[in-house]
Amino acid sequence: MKYVYGPVKSRRLGFSLGITTVPYKVCSFDCVYCQLSKTTEKIMARKEYVDEKDILAEVRAFFKNKPDDLKVDCITFSGSGEPTLNSRLGRLIKGVREITGIPVVLITNSSLLVEPEVRRQAAGVDLIIPSLDAVTQDVFEEIDRPVKGSNVSKIIDSLIEFKKIFKGRMWLEIMLVRGINDGESYLRKIKKVVDKIKPDRVQINSPVRPPAEKWVKPPSVATLKKARQIFGENCDIV
């Protein structure tokens, strides 16, 4: 199969069947910590990068042939690029729901949520895991290296907006990189923004797999403990 993979055992999601909606490393960011290597096509333009029918045909074939004892806890739009770049995301989510009642998850870098149509399409999932690594433009550009014109204040506003209309759950993911966004005062700045977004959970992540840039290091254990303390009860270190 080209677009459906797994199910992969994930600490957060259980057995997750992944769906990729764009070719390898087509993304609006080029994060310094990306475990997939450098972005090959940094872009904000949405289109049907992969044919909706081909993806849904694979999902159908997977469930037709799935052994009864193979566990699938969720279907996750994620993969090797930014899934919301596929303009058919809304139809894909609907199509998956017609095939199976298993919960649908979207993992996104949040950049395209600035577009109302993307928010409308993304609202069709049960759980969204958007990332927000920075709350100031300079740190945003340093860590996520976004496509030109991407503005972190607008992304924050769109996350606030999205959470108000979204009926599912939101787990906000923050990747901490040593020396960039893991200082105590910066963590407190992020916390202020998180309080406005009001996600159901905050998930603090660290780059543990080989990153795109060799100099990227995870935060210290003491920093992770501090982050846990700052973000409080709703926070998981993943």
Q: Binding residues for ligand SF4, per CB under 6 A?
A: 27, 29-31, 34, 36, 39, 81-82, 109
Residues ≥6 apart with Cβ < 8 Å to 13: 73, 74, 76, 105
Q: How far is the CB of 16 from ligand SF4 (least distance, A)?
A: 16
The token pair at 231 is: 């973000």
> Is the Cβ of residue 62 or residue 122 nearer to ligand SF4 in the bound state?
122
Beta bridge partners of 16: 8, 74
Min dist CB 99 to ligand SF4, Å, is 26
**How many CB atoms sit inside 10 A of residue 205's CB?**
17
In 10 A of CB 192, how many CB atoms? 9
Choose between 29 and 166: whose C-beta lies nearer to ligand SF4.
Answer: 29
Handedness of CA 143, 144, 145, 146 (dihedral sign): negative
Nearer to ligand SF4, 82 or 182 (CB): 82
Closest CA to 136 of 153, 155, 158, 149: 153
Q: Alpha-carbon distance 93 to 73, whole Å?
A: 16
Polymer length in residues for the chain = 238
